[in-house]
Amino acid sequence: HSDINLTLKAIKSLSIEASRTNVTIMPSDYNEYNYKLTSDGKIFVPTQYAAQLKKSGKQNIFEMKSTPAKPIIEVTTTFNTITIK
């Protein structure tokens, strides 16, 4: 059990696979990335994107893709939360 907190400025991609770990990501500009977040726990995103949260079985999913393609942030965790601030 642990927590991961990341502040992002300029990346090409980020992929995190975690178990029983809370993950918090703080991008410098939310709209500069695509997102694919999956968790058995809750996913927290800024209010204006909350409508894009979905549930598939026991998993909560948040996907945001833009055109042209932007760097992707992929996070998968079990039982814990993913937060994008």
**Looking at residue 11, what is its pLDDT?**
81
Residue 9, pLDDT > 90, answer no
Average pLDDT (26-55) is: 93
Mean pLDDT of all residues belonging to the chain? 88
> CB 6: neighbour CB atoms within 10 A?
14
**Looking at residue 56, what is its pLDDT?**
95
